[in-house]
Chains A and B, each alone.
Chain A
């Protein structure tokens, strides 16, 4: 079932960023020059996801900033959008498919289980940035 998304009246506090394709490579390139510190980085196909304190997250054009829904714990959502369906209805389906945390975005056809993404360390960021 395709989810509809609505703008949030108040943005979530930023604690992550998602990028895909060229934006993801640019993000990886920026990160490779910096200390990762508290940031956790993971990748899935051509997507890069960073989780951590908002002020440590780099900026690239096309990146989507993420926040945690206050009532749903480990579900990352865009800071500015929320699904039209109540999250209480969605969460049990997420939990039955994979352990948390999860990521849901309008740009993704289905939720992404972040635990199943590959962790990316500092050494692999350049490789990610260089991939075709």
Chain B
């Protein structure tokens, strides 16, 4: 989830986290905000939420003078990172104002328009809205992340991670802005024909992306390229197209039907998200290197041995020797040595 939020932030798009309660959606948002250090606004919307709870109260002093102004200090219009839980629960008054903030980064109140410094809005919901009007609002969240409770075999990892204090890796907001600027300048000419082909393939499979999503998915591709250190997007950067598919079933189908085309996917810093999306050998190898290095640092004990065996099994079962790369071959050799 954190990687998805970072990708969206660099692409200057918004992300929707869809999943049951208790799946760490707000925790992911807080961690990213903490890393970036920007002004953060978080709110749980309900059907009785008032616009003033998000956008700020009316300035009564100015109202007495006949001027309608909103006190936005500390509220959503001044936030650089925003998390809105149950984002579709708000009234139409709230959603209409939110549309302007999400689309144009402009807060409109009466005749006044104020620019918003919002880098990324993270919306969370237990399920996608079926209402057409809400679905149109939901379309503003380009990147969709469907979250499930942790599976059985990862429970111990979750328990371990849940007790550790989060130490944010300091990535200043200015760095994020720089990356976003670079993403805007990324050359996409070489990959556009391939992207067009992928979109056609999705349509053929009945997975429709709106024209807006189809155009804006290029922002995600550009962001993926910049985060991989490339100023010219390549086929290695097309994997985010899966994340722009609006439904969970659609994303699953997209992963399957685009499996071959996304085999060359690679992302040095978003490899976890890229692997979830594209099952590509390079990103899998990166994850296995990271896991192997982590295991080698642990104290030798029977549990570590079992985990090392498990990792070696995964390496040998899922990657041909030619797919592993020098780093993984080295890690593999060290893991084997540690079992001897």
CA distance A54 to B263 in the complex (A): 24
Whether A9 lies near B259 (C-beta < 8 A) is yes
B99 contacts the other chain (CB 8 A) = no
Q: Confirm or deny: A80 has a beta carbon within 8 angstroms of a beta carbon on chain B.
A: yes
- Among B317, B320, B336, the most chain A Cβ lie within 10 Å of the Cβ of B317
**A79–B318 touching, CB < 8 Å:** yes
Say which size band chain A's interface belongs to.
Answer: 10 to 19
Interface residues of B toward A: which range?
10 to 19
Q: Are A65 and B317 in contact (CB under 8 A)?
A: yes
A63 vs B153: C-alpha distance when bound (angstroms): 23
For A79, what are the chain B residues with a Cβ–Cβ distance below 8 Å? 317-318
Taken together as a complex, chains A and B put the C-alpha atoms of A29 and B16 apart, in Å, by 50
Evaluate contact between B259 and A10: CB separation under 8 angstroms: yes
Q: Does A113 contact B (CB under 8 A)?
A: no
Within 8 A of A (CB), among B312-334: 312-313, 316-320
The residues of A that contact B317 with a CB separation of less than 8 Å are: 11, 14, 54, 65, 79-80
Question: Is the pair B312, A59 in contact by a Cβ cutoff of 8 Å?
Answer: yes
* Interface, chain B (partner A; CB < 8 A): 153, 259-260, 263, 279, 309-310, 312-313, 316-320, 336
Q: List 28 A-B contacts (CB under 8 A).
A: A7-B320, A9-B259, A10-B259, A10-B279, A11-B318, A11-B319, A14-B313, A14-B317, A14-B318, A54-B317, A55-B310, A57-B313, A58-B309, A58-B313, A59-B309, A59-B310, A59-B312, A59-B313, A59-B316, A63-B316, A65-B313, A65-B317, A79-B317, A79-B318, A80-B317, A80-B318, A80-B319, A80-B320
